[in-house]
Chain A
C-alpha cells in the first residue's frame, strides 16, 4: 500500500475522522479513524463497495453531514467548528457537487440552473449570467442555455450540472457516481469533461464511485472498506478520454 506523498498545497486535511450513527449497543461506525489529505489540483477517486463509508465520507467532505470525532480542515479552516449557517455559506462558495441523479431543477432553463448557486451566493445578475455562460461553454453545451432539462439528453444534462458546479469557481468539486445514470458513451463524455476541467483549469476533483473503470480515470485512488481507508495510491494505468474514446496512460505519463 503506497501512500501518496503529502503535497505542500493541502486543500483537505482529515485527521482521525469518525462517524458513528446511533448510540450504545445499536451504534454503527460508518467511518473509523480516517486520515486523508488532498492537495489543490488533485483528481481523486474514492472507491469502495456499498456500505464501505464512501458516501458518508463524501457527505462529511461536502458539509452535508458532521463527523462525530476527529478533525476536518478545508483550505485551512476547521469545518467541524462552523455553525450550520457558516457551513451553508462555505458550501455555497467553495464546494460544488455533481450528483448521480442529474438533479437539474426541471422548471428552470439550463442557464438558470447554472446561475442558481451564484444567485444563492447573492452574486449580481450580470456577473453570474456571464460566469454561467462561460461554464456552459467550457463544457461544450453553451448552445443548450435556453433549453429546459426535459429537452436535452442525459449526457448533456450531466454536463450542464457540471457547468453549474464549476461556474462559481469552487475550490473542490465533489462528484457522487456522476456516470451512474448514463450510458457508456455519455459517461465517457462526462469523464472527459472532468479531466478537462482538472487538466486545464486545475479544479480539485473528488469522484465517488464503485466502478473501477471510472476510478481509473483519476490520478489517485483511495479505497474504503468497512469505514477504514484500505488503500491510497497513484493510478498507474490512468485512462484518458479523448473525443469520447478511452486511451491509456502508463505510470510515466506517456501514451500507451
Chain B
C-alpha cells in the first residue's frame, strides 16, 4: 500500500486541523533553526573581525599585582589594596621589549587613548577617538595608508574621519585641532575593519610622545607585541613576560593573546546559542505532543476504517506504517515550513543587524532530521494503538 499517499490524503482532508497541528512543529523548528543560524553567523562575524587583527598579536595591559608568588617574586603582597588600576606600563617597557632582541618577537608598539575631541574649521567629530601610537602600530593592525605616512610631528586620520572633515579635498598638509593645538595631517588610512569596539576609520593617530604629553601621562594604556608567527605566540608570551617581570617584579601586568580573546568570545557565543536553541527545542517537544494528541484523535475517529482495512487483510504492520507515515509527514511538513520561515527571518535579521547571515546546511539537516524524529517518536503510540485494534472491536463502533 502507498502509505504516504494515504497519509497525505488524510492530512489534506483535514487541512485546518493538520495545519494547526503542524504549527507547533513550525514554530519549534523555526525557533531552533533561526537561533542556531544567527548564532553561527555571529560567531563567523566575530572570527573574521579577529582574524583581521592578526592571530600573532599579544596585548599587555596593567593589572592588579599578582597575589600568587609562583613567579618567585614576593614583592607584590602589600600592594593588593589597589582599588582602581592606573596604568604602570611606560615607554621604557616598550623600549626594553624592542631592544632586548628576542627570537620570537617581531616588533611591538604601545598605545594611549587621548580623551580629547578633534575638530577642523570649527566642526567637532564627536564619534572620533584619538590614539597615540608608534609607527609599527599600523602594520600590526593590518591597516594601510591611502596617502601620506605616519611622522613624529603630524597626525594620521582614518578614512571616514578624513572624509567628514575634508570631503573630496586632499587633507595632506591641512591642519586639525586637538585640545586647541593644531596638527598637520600627514597621512590618511584606507578604510578598514578593526577589532570589535574600535573603528580605525573613525580614529585619529598621534605620535605616542605627543599624545602622552597632551594627556599629561607618563604611562601608556597598553602595549601590543607581535610574534614572528602565530605558532611562536606562546614563546613570545614567555619572552615578554620574562622582560616585563624584571621591570615589574610585582607582576602588575596581564598578557592576553588574540587567540585567547577569540576563544573566549566564540565559546561565549556558542554557549548562548546552544542555550537559546535548547529553550527553543522545548517548543519542538510541545509540538510533538500536539502531534501525538491529534494522532490519537485521528485513530479513534478512524476505528471503523482501521477495522475494515484489517478485515480486508491489512497486517498490524500495514496499519502501523500508515499512521506512522501520517505523523511523520505532518511533522516533516511542519519542519519544512519552519525551515523556510527561519531562512527568511535569518536573512532579514542579518540584514538589519548588518552581519552576513544565512541558513547553515547543518541547521537545516538538524531541523529536518529532528522534525522527522519528533513525528516518529510521538506517532508511535497512536500508531501502535491503531495497529493493535482488533477488527471486531473496530467494526463495533457503528
Is chain B's binding surface mostly helix, strand, loop or mixed?
A: helix
A251 CB within 8 Å of chain B: no
Q: How distant is the Cα of A219 from the Cα of B35 in the complex, in angstroms?
A: 75
A145 smallest CB distance to B (angstroms) = 18
- With A64-B391, A65-B390, A119-B1 known as contacts, the answer to whether A89 contacts B308 (CB < 8 A) is no
B213 CB within 8 Å of chain A: no
**A-contacting 9-mer, from B38-46, B279-287, B310-318:** B310-318
- With A64-B392, A116-B309 known as contacts, the answer to whether A85 contacts B316 (CB < 8 A) is yes
Chain A 132-169, CB-CB to B under 8 Å as 1, else 0, gives 00000000000000000000000000000000100010
B301 CB within 8 Å of chain A: no
Contact check: which of B13, B318, B395 meets A99 at CB < 8 Å?
Answer: B395
Name B392's closest neighbour in chain A (CB-CB).
A64
Residues of the A chain whose Cβ atoms lie less than 8 Å from the Cβ of B309: 105, 116, 120
Q: Chain A interface: which size bin?
A: 20 to 34
Contact check: which of B9, B308, B313, B318 meets A103 at CB < 8 Å?
Answer: B308
Contact check: which of B9, B313, B395, B398 meets A121 at CB < 8 Å?
Answer: B313
Name B390's closest neighbour in chain A (CB-CB).
A64
* A100/B398 in contact, CB under 8 A: yes
Name B310's closest neighbour in chain A (CB-CB).
A88
Q: How distant is the Cα of A92 from the Cα of B317 in the complex, in angstroms?
A: 14
Residues of the B chain whose Cβ atoms lie less than 8 Å from the Cβ of A212: none
Name A164's closest neighbour in chain B (CB-CB).
B312
A93 CB within 8 Å of chain B: yes
B149 CB within 8 Å of chain A: no
B305 CB within 8 Å of chain A: yes
Contact check: which of A62, A64, A88, A120 meets B1 at CB < 8 Å?
Answer: A120
* B315/A105 in contact, CB under 8 A: no
Question: Among the interface residues B13, B312, B390, which one has the most CB atoms of the partner chain A within 10 A?
Answer: B312
Residues of the A chain whose Cβ atoms lie less than 8 Å from the Cβ of B248: none
Name A176's closest neighbour in chain B (CB-CB).
B395
B304 CB within 8 Å of chain A: yes
Residues of the B chain whose Cβ atoms lie less than 8 Å from the Cβ of A28: none
Residues of the A chain whose Cβ atoms lie less than 8 Å from the Cβ of B390: 64-65
A194 CB within 8 Å of chain B: no
* A88/B313 in contact, CB under 8 A: yes
Name A102's closest neighbour in chain B (CB-CB).
B308
A107 CB within 8 Å of chain B: yes
Residues of the B chain whose Cβ atoms lie less than 8 Å from the Cβ of A101: 304, 395, 398
Chain A 91-111, CB-CB to B under 8 Å as 1, else 0, gives 111000101110101010000
* B13/A120 in contact, CB under 8 A: no
Contact check: which of B1, B9, B13, B312 meets A92 at CB < 8 Å?
Answer: B312
B118 smallest CB distance to A (angstroms) = 77
Question: Among the interface residues B310, B313, B316, which one has the most CB atoms of the partner chain A within 10 A?
Answer: B313
- With A64-B392, A99-B395, A100-B398 known as contacts, the answer to whether A107 contacts B311 (CB < 8 A) is no
- With A64-B311, A97-B311, A101-B398 known as contacts, the answer to whether A120 contacts B9 (CB < 8 A) is no
Q: How distant is the Cα of A105 from the Cα of B304 in the complex, in angstroms?
A: 9
Taking CB atoms and an 8 Å cut-off, the chain A residues in 107-127 that contact chain B are 107, 116-117, 119-121
A-B contact pairs, 8 of them (CB 8 A): A62-B311, A88-B310, A92-B313, A103-B308, A103-B311, A116-B312, A120-B314, A120-B318
